[in-house]
Amino acid sequence: MKPYHQIPIDECGEPLVQIPSEHFAFEQPHPYQKLGAPYHNSKADSPYYLRQGVVDSLLAAQKQLQQHHPDWKIQIFDAYRPVEVQQFMVDYTFAEIAKAQGCTLPVAEDKRQVILEKVYQFWAVPSLDRATPPPHSTGAALDINLVDKNHQPIDMGSPIDEISARSYPDHFANSNDPEAKEYHRRRQVLKDAMTAADFQQHPNEWWHFSWGDQMWAWLTNQQQGRSQVMARYGRC
């Protein structure tokens, strides 16, 4: 169990709505659909859905971004993710790490636990327990990048979903290398736009932001030094 799973959920009942395509860029084709992830049983007909309140905050973040970078847009890599897709991606990531380490499937139990620890540093457990939903399965979390005026992704120094220390938001913060400093500056531009709209950033992932889920509530309480904020969104 993650620390944020201790946060109670006061489900508000907001619907999932499609992210308006006219305001954002989108990763196409969707990276997990391309791998064969099972979205066909979900309540939304595409991964590019969020709760209504989260979409409203995302629009505010886009406006904030364009005050300083008028030619840039937020690019949606992933948004709503059914638990079945979460399980698919955990299994896929596990297999990729095992392959990279020269393991054959099935992996011995001791080695399996070591690999799972790596997986769960970045991927939430695909829990079906309504008290501990994966953040993306609430419709309140999204993975994003930025694109420039030519719709080219801004290089942040590591790709989304990379299992490495480079994924940590402040990985390049103390570097003296000019290129690394630029990566940090770009990450900060993204973070500043999102946090100005009251999103919270995942501690381990420069690309992951949420508004209204358990992680968001837990991080908000940590910042405020209180335990008053509850999650608005549970599993869809």
Kindly report, residue by residue over 81-130, the tens digit of the pLDDT. Answer: 999 999 999 999 999 999 999 998 888 888 999 999 999 999 999 999 99
44, pLDDT greater than 70? no
CA distance 41 to 31: 18
| Higher-confidence position of 6 and 105 | 6
Question: E strand or H helix at 115, and its extent?
Answer: helix 109-122
Q: What sign does the CA torsion over 156, 126, 196, 224 have? A: negative
> Percent of the chain scored above 90 by pLDDT?
88
39-48, 68-77, 187-196: least confidently modelled range: 39-48
Quote the CA–CA distance of 105 and 123 in Å, as a whole number. Answer: 20
Give bridge partners of residue 16 from the DSSP assignment. 51
Radius of gyration of the chain (CA): 18
pLDDT of residue 169: 98
pLDDT at res. 104? 85
Instruction: Return d(Cα 235, Cα 133) in angstroms, integer.
Output: 6
* Given the residues 22, 109, 162, 205, the one annotated as active site: 205
- At 151-173, the pLDDT tens digits run 999 999 999 999 999 999 999 99
Name the burial class of residue 97, with classes exposed (0-12), middle (13-18) and buried (19+) by CB atoms within 10 angstroms of its CB: middle
Left, alpha or beta for 16 (phi > 0: left; psi -120 to 50: alpha)?
Answer: beta
* Alpha carbons 192 and 103: distance in angstroms, whole number: 41
Q: Which of 80, 82, 96, 95 is nearest to 127 (CA)?
A: 82
pLDDT for the residue 46: 80
Q: Is 181 exposed, middle or buried (0-12, 13-18, 19+ CB in 10 A)?
A: middle
Q: For residues 63 and 102, is the Cβ–Cβ distance under 8 A?
A: no
pLDDT at residue 226 in the model = 77
* Average confidence (pLDDT) over 230-235: 98
pLDDT band for 1, please (50, 70, 90 cuts): confident
Half-sphere exposure of 178 (CA within 13 A, CB side): 0
Burial class (CB in 10 A: 0-12, 13-18, 19+), 105: exposed
Q: Average pLDDT, whole number, for the chain?
A: 95
Determine the pLDDT at residue 30.
Answer: 93
Q: Given a cut of 80, is residue 70 above it in pLDDT?
A: yes
Q: Does residue 183 register a pLDDT over 90?
A: yes
Q: Given pLDDT bands bounded at 50, 70 and 90, which one contains residue 45? A: low
Spelled out in words, what is the top-level CATH class assigned to the domain 3-82+137-224? alpha beta
pLDDT tens track for 195-223 = 999 999 999 999 999 999 999 999 999 99
pTM: predicted TM-score of the whole model, two decimal places = 0.95
The yes-or-no answer on residue 182 being catalytic is no
